Structure 1
Amino acid sequence: MSHSPPDSGRARAFHLAGSSVPAARPQPGLYIVATPIGNLGDITLRALETLAGADLIACEDTRITRRLLDRYGIETPLVAYHDHNAEHTRPRLMERLAAGGVLAQVSDAGTPLVSDPGYKLVEAALAAGHRVIPIPGASASLAALVAAGLPTDRFFFEGFLPARSGARRTRISELKTLPATLIIYETGPRLDESLADLAEVLGPRPAAVCRELTKAFEEVRRGTLTELAGHYAQAEAENRGEIVLVIGAPLEEEAREEDIDAALRRALATLSVKDAAAAVATATGLPRRAVYARALALQGGDD
């Protein structure tokens, strides 16, 4: 049975440099399409062709996505799909896929499913046997990472920290020993408080605050967490827009202290405090008295 898309009469095309470019209808399936994080010029030709050729575009906010489509003369219908209506809307989208439809999914900015709603639609589509095709492009996390000037060989994407300070500090403590550059999203109103908590828990690690990337007032401010916390506590006018924090891995002395504690805990599982301290001191070359004091602290003072 053939399924014709309900909007088959519309022009499947996009405008580029004053010309109309035809867009073929892609193969049926769910297309996850990255869109610009600010500068509308940061869209790929493949993304434009996919958006123009799709039967329907699912987006977080139709007003935001409409601005992008208007820029490139794309007439594909839109449907809102976000956290608040997902349970109601997802079955309708699945029906479109089941009927052989071509569905594109976008977020308000950047790569969908990265700190944005949508993974349940991908999960459902895969479970139903539909194709899921990524159309890569802009990503705020990667843009910030490469601009921060910190090591990029190993990084951990955290997304948003908890809004409340107590829970936020607990989570930061859990991230403290990760041997990787941290990438964290934050909102303007919480920036100064989050930086203060990060500085208190992580200390003076090198970091960068990347704000309004690709936009007119783009800013990348680098320094230690302590310096950045002090700056943004006094610079309320700058605590606006889309913000990505990039934070260096534990400093060498931090990592060494954590390694020693880990070694002591392993030794204490089978040895007395005295013997465990002797074994770790021998293995590390550190003064036995200092290691013994640390072992006592970990053991709560019990010998």
Structure 2
Amino acid sequence: MKALFGIATVNRRDAANHALQAESQGWKKQKRQQWFSLLLAGLASALVALLIVFALVPQWIAPYSPTAMMTDRILQPPGTANWLGTDYFGRDILSLVIYGTRVSLLIGFSSVLAGVLAGGILGALAGYAGGWTDTIIMRMMDILMTIPGVLLALAIAAALGPGLPNIVLAIAAASIPGYARVMRGGIVGLRTRGYIESARALGASNWHVIRRHILPNAVSPVLVMATIGLGSSILTGAGLSFLGLGTVSEIPDWGALLSQGRGYLTVAWWICTFPGLAITSFVLAVNLIGDELRDRLDPRVGA
């Protein structure tokens, strides 16, 4: 009997040790994943910061002027004199990519800011007011969401014509329904909370309740969506520029560089490759930053 009791005790002890080891291994694996995710987000932030520096002071970094035509180096492959090669005018591709960063980032940031402001205001109004206001605004958003965002931006840009303000307006208009629905969903879930009712009972105005109690708690999902939407805006802007609906300037953006180099893919692959890599790198970087922000701001995801 004592032997059986001893065996049972040993089995329980072994099971407890195995459980502790499994829990320790799971915790270590989770920590490694967190550190790896943080490392990726740090590298992505560094890349975005570098591109912002390119956009702010391209003349300090670019080796040549973007309009300098070196006729003795036309369609030169990447080398020591021109690290990323030259185009059919003899312009340095590295300088063009660096100078094109300004217009590309300006399109992305401006369109996201305009979309967040317009969509956030409409979503906040619909979510807080409710009733017919909510119904009318959200049905309008539903109508816009039935049209693919890229197609809507393309239609608006084609109707307005090329130009920086027009392309920003087109991309922003296509993103408004998404931001409006996210903001409206967050506010609908907050407006019936106890502290909101208490603030109203104490005589707080609607503007005070929205500004002090609702918006600070509803803005996090919109911020994450805007971060990820920045990459989509850059990609959409590049697509519109590729189709000839972008900015009209002697310094092309990344999408215009792709469009200019598509006819030379067989003889000068570098004209399209490096602007495409710049677009891909930026989109990937902001998506990684958006994922990290989501994990930081949403405890349910980080749990």
TM-based fold match above 0.5: no
Q: Kindly indicate whether structure 1 or structure 2 has the higher relative contact order, using CA contacts under 8 Å at least 6 residues apart.
A: 2
Q: What TM-score does the superposition give when structure 1 sets the normalisation length?
A: 0.21
Q: What TM-score does the superposition give when structure 2 sets the normalisation length?
A: 0.21
Which structure has the highest strand share of the two? Answer: 1
Give the greater-gyration-radius structure (CA).
2
Which structure has the highest helix share of the two? Answer: 2
